[in-house]
Structure 1
Amino acid sequence: MNAASVLLCLILAGLPLASRAHGPEGDHDHGPATPAAGPSVLPRTEAATEAFELVATLEPHRLAIVIDRFATNEPVLQAKLTVESGGLKAEARFDPEHGDYAVSSPELLARLRTPGQHALVFTLLAAEESDLLDAQLNVASANDAHTHRPLWVQGAYGAGALLLLGAGVSVGVGVWRRRAVKGGL
């Protein structure tokens, strides 16, 4: 087999592996996303105290917050919840359709969408209980998002690496043969 045939085989062998990582439009194959949780790339934060825990996700049109009791995981429904960040304060309203709380304040959402770290303070009043939960929301910039090389470039890199490995093996076999001939093996 000549070098061109080996290179072609290596490139063709690498293509199926590279194509499994992305869908037809170049999207990641992470399985179906649930509407309430959204894609895994959305900024998300968690906070917990002895009594409560919450998960907040910055969705395109709202900050979605799920709250439950720390000890039992029982959802906390119909409580009063406010969110503060960077001097802005907004009420989170319970959304029975989604089973979570939503902040839709344009000012607060605009601030939270700016890249960087955002300190959040959640004030929760549930029946006769109250609590403060602190969290940090990290929002990546567009430059932080990873980029994709075209499939042919990925295949070329893989083929190049395999070609270098093959060259190393070939040199090693040649050295072994020379030693075998000189040593009378």
Structure 2
Amino acid sequence: MKTPIRSHLKHSLVAAALCALALGSHAAPGAHGPDGEHLDAVPGAAAAGAAAVPRFEAQSELFEVVGRLQAEGLSLYLNQFQTNEPVLQAQLQIESGALQGTAAFRPEQGDYLLSDAALLQALRQPGQHALVLTVIAGQQSDLLEGSLQVAAPLQGGHGHEHTLLQELALPLTLVGGGLLLVGGGIWFLRRGKAVRANKGL
């Protein structure tokens, strides 16, 4: 017949093993999936990242411009202010401080792209950049003013790795403790069997 102590110990071992498996199966905060995505990322995190792209808006009685500072350059969408219709094949010049450049129209995207290296280098610097845009479209021409705000980059490139190690410390400790408990329980069971065998039980 099984003794109460032995039965209780078996139940404890089963509970500890289940706890260890449960902890191991759940991703720790900050863990990454197979494609490098954050498993604990909140919905809309990608949208927040997209919104972090520096952008500006400028408008006048004739035109309105929306610009985004992307990796390929400064992308600008030019529309009629009253009708919101796209303005295609216009001449679009951008000035910031002592620098200026011309944005070329891209038919495939329907936008204008500023690719002047010197001007882009200045615009990518953290801070607020005043912009003056000159638009010439057929018989219409106008000046628009805008402001591009560029945030400073996050400091500490290794901060995420350090935080991840800290967040993994507790789950790993709990899993290790559960495994030690299981191993210790098995040892006690075997020792109990040996003692009873020696006593002839």
Unaligned runs of 5+ in 2: 1-18, 171-201
CA RMSD in angstroms comes to 4.0
Is 1:84 equivalent to 2:98 in the alignment?
no
User: Which structure has more helix as a fraction of its residues?
Assistant: 2
1:150 and 2:164 are equivalent in the alignment: yes
The corresponding residue for 2:56 is 45
- State the match for 1:135 in structure 2: 146
1:51-62 equivalences under 5 Å are: 51-62=62-73
Q: CA deviation at 1:23?
A: 9.3
CA distance in 1, matches of 2:57, 2:34: 30
Q: In the alignment, what sits opposite 2:16?
A: none
1:51-86 CA-to-partner distances (Å, cap 9, x unmatched) read 211111111121100011111110000011100002
Work out whether 1:103 is the aligned partner of 2:103: no
- Kindly provide the amino acid, as one letter, of the partner of residue 55 in structure 1: V
Alpha-carbon separation, structure 1, partners of 2:152 and 2:61: 33
| TM-score of the pair, normalised by structure 2 | 0.58
* Structure 1 residue matching 2:105: 3-state secondary structure: strand
Shift in alpha-carbon separation, 1:23–1:59, aligned structure 2, 3 A: farther
Task: Structure 1 unaligned segments of length 5 or more: list them.
Answer: 1-7, 157-185
Asked which structure has the greater RCO (Cα within 8 Å, sep 6+), the reply is: 2
Q: Normalising by the residue count of structure 1, what TM-score does the alignment of the two structures yield?
A: 0.62
Q: Secondary structure at the match of 1:94?
A: strand
Q: Does 1:93 align with 2:104?
A: yes
Amino acid at match of 1:140: A
Partner of residue 170, structure 1: none
Cα distance in 1 between the residues matched to 2:37 and 2:164: 9
Name the count of aligned residue pairs.
148
